[in-house]
Amino acid sequence: MNFALALETLRRHGVEFVVVGGVAVVAHGASLMTRDLDILYRLGRDNATRLVAAFDELEAVAWGDPRRLRFGIDHLDNPGHHLAETRAGRLDALGSLGLEGEVRYETVVGDAVEMEAFGVRFLCISLDRLIEVKRALGRPRDLLAVQELEALKKLRA
| pLDDT-above-70 percentage for the chain | 100
Q: What is the span of the domain harbouring residue 84?
A: 3-156
Query: How big is the chain, counted in residues?
Result: 157
As a dihedral over the C-alpha atoms of residue 91, residue 97, residue 98, residue 99, rounded to 10 degrees, the angle is: -70
* Tens-digit pLDDT profile for residues 101-150: 889 999 999 999 999 988 899 999 999 999 999 999 888 988 989 999 99
CATH number, domain at 148?
3.30.460.40
Q: What is the CA radius of gyration of the chain?
A: 15
* Tens-digit pLDDT profile for residues 15-32: 999 999 989 999 988 888
Integer angstrom CA distances of residue 94 from 31, 40, 69, 125:
24, 5, 17, 13
CA distance 130 to 150: 10
What is the model's pLDDT at position 156? Answer: 84
Domains identified in the chain, total number: 1
pTM of the model: 0.93
Band (pLDDT 50/70/90 cuts) for residue 57 is very high
Mean of pLDDT values over 42-59: 98
